[in-house]
Amino acid sequence: MTMDHPRDEADPYPPAVSEFVERFAADLLAAGFQRMAARVFACLSVSEEGALTSSELAERLRISPAAVSGAVRYLAQIYLVSREREPGSRRERYRLHQDVWYETMTQRDQYLRRWETTARAGVDVVGADSSAGRRLEETADFMAFLGEEMSGIMDRWHARRSVSGHPVEHNA
């Protein structure tokens, strides 16, 4: 829990869980996540179903519904969560995607290919013999390398999960 919100009897989490959520969020923040999105993602990660309503997230994290909304919008844009309606209700629940990291890395593979293509187009624009052209060519080659390696990594992860009895489920 953040230091600006003292702990009280109404906390929905045991102290160790709250501390873990904040630690995980800090790690995500250090990796480039937005602060509230990191906290919401970490909170969803420790929830039993991997899904909570806006009010549950706001209560657990002691943030405003507007902060939850902005964080969820960001997390949905980067394919980490989805919105779903609660059956028989107008309330939405925010759910972590099944196999969230596998799906996220699959999306990143598409970006790698796009960045490679764009960098190669840049080489054509600035000239292959220029310093900028050589830099862009190295960028394109690196993105191609990452894409090739990522494909193998994803295949190995899928095989590993299948062997362990936890096959990777793809989101629609």
Of 41, 22, 44, 21, the closest CA to residue 33 belongs to 41
pTM beyond cutoff 0.85 = no
Q: Are 112 and 118 spatial neighbours (Cβ–Cβ below 8 Å)?
A: no
Contacts of residue 97, defined as CB under 8 A and 6 or more positions apart, other chains included, come to 79, 80, 81, 82, 103, 104, 171
Of 80, 130, 122, the closest CA to residue 102 belongs to 80
What integer pLDDT is reported at residue 54 of this predicted model?
93
Range 96-116 average pLDDT: 84
Does residue 6 register a pLDDT over 50? Answer: no
Inter-helix orientation angle 65-77/35-46, to 10°? 90
Does domain 15-96 bear CATH number 1.10.10.10? yes
What integer pLDDT is reported at residue 170 of this predicted model?
54
The helix (run of H) or strand (run of E) holding residue 92 is: strand 92-96
